[in-house]
Each structure stands twice: as structure tokens, then as C-alpha cells.
Structure 1
């Protein structure tokens, strides 16, 4: 009989703990668990119209490499990573980043 009371007390404690704890959604932690690009844009965009480019490698969140350009007018455009002009832009960005790292050493 004592064992049943102990089991009930532990179970009640676990349920109370689960009720009182508040989970944090993964999206709030900055982790996106899905692809961000539904479709991609492959037509050339002049570099002077691009403010920033974000490159996301494939991983458990998404099987695709994603290239997201933020334009100077505030729009975000998903670029086709296999488009020749996108490859050139990515290579230039990576080369510039590598040069910055080497100059800091």
C-alpha cells in the first residue's frame, strides 16, 4: 500500500512539474526547422540593388542550399544557387570574407 502512495506522489509531482513549466518554441530560439525558400529566382539582379546576401547550407532543416538576397528596397528574394550569376556573386563574397580573415591574422 505504501508503494502505491509513493508512485502516486511521484506521478503527481511529475504532472505538476510538466504543467508549470513553460516550453520555448524552437522558432523563438532562432532555429528554423524548414526550408525558407518555396521558390527561387534565377534572373539576374544587378549587384547595386542588393543590400545583403544570406547563404544557408543544406542540413537537417532543409535539403537545399538557400541563397536569400535582401534588396535595397527591403524585399527578400530567394536566388537559384545553380544560376551562373549567383555562383559568381557567392564566390566573390566568399573570396572577400577570406581576404578579410587573412588580413586580420
Structure 2
């Protein structure tokens, strides 16, 4: 066999070997990780809420994360599967849809 054919065969074998035993690169990106290491299922009264954040799955984390900032500035991670948080998010979403401002087209006149 010619030398170039042997090198080509060796390179192909090396590529096949490398892809077979390749490891996931998920944990190697620094600064990209889930913010919620643990979640709670306890009901938190909305009067204690300062802000609620819903983080979609992405390159930083493969999970849906719900972070509730309390008035005491503590951040609590809530399990996205809990019935009470699902109902709360649905209620907030409905309220936002009802309170959408009216959009005027360019041909409408504004009364003075």
C-alpha cells in the first residue's frame, strides 16, 4: 500500500475513534450554568413578591427556571411544575393581554 493511502486510512480511523469517545462540552463553558440549584414547591404569598423572572432553557441551562425576588431582596427558585406558580403566571399573562394599549393607525385622527 502506498504511504498516502496508509496516512489517509490512519486519519480516518483517528476521526472515527475521536467521535466515538467524544465527551459533552456542556460543562466546559465558564459562567454558563443554571441559576437554580434547588427549587421550592412551597406557596409564596404574592404580597411578598418584588419581581418574578422566567428563564427559558438555553445554552446556559437546559431547564426552565422561575426566580422570585422577594421584597426582602432574597431570591427564591420555584419549581416550574407546581400548580400554584402555573396558575399565577397564567393570571399575570391574562391581565397583561387585557391591559394592552390601543394602537392607532396613521389615518386615525386624535381629538383635542
> Is the pair's TM-score, using the shorter chain for normalization, greater than 0.5?
yes
Which residue does 2:84 correspond to in 1? 85
Pairwise mapping of residues 56-95 of structure 1 onto structure 2 (< 5 A)?
56-95=55-94
Match of 1:103 in 2: 101
List structure 1 segments (4+ residues) > 6 angstroms apart after TM superposition. Answer: none
Cα distance, 1:33 vs structure 2: 1.9
Structure whose residues are more often helix by fraction: 1
Q: How far apart are residue 104 of structure 1 and its match?
A: 4.1
TM-score, length basis structure 2: 0.59
CA RMSD in angstroms comes to 1.8
Which ranges of structure 1 fall in alignment gaps of 5 or more residues?
1-26
- Segments of 5+ residues of structure 2 without an aligned counterpart are 1-29, 104-112
Whole-Å Cα distance in 1 between the matches of residues 102 and 49 of structure 2? Answer: 26
Q: CA deviation at 1:66?
A: 0.4
Q: Scaled by the length of structure 1, what TM-score is found?
A: 0.63
Distance (Å, rounded) in 2 between the aligned partners of 1:76 and 1:39: 12
Deviations 1:26-80 (A, max 9, x none): x9xxxx6211000001100111111110011111211100000000111000001
- Please tell me whether Structure 1 or Structure 2 has the larger radius of gyration of its CA atoms: 2
SS in 1 for 2:50: strand
Paired with 2:102 and 2:70, the residues of 1 have a C-alpha distance of 29
Aligned residues: 74
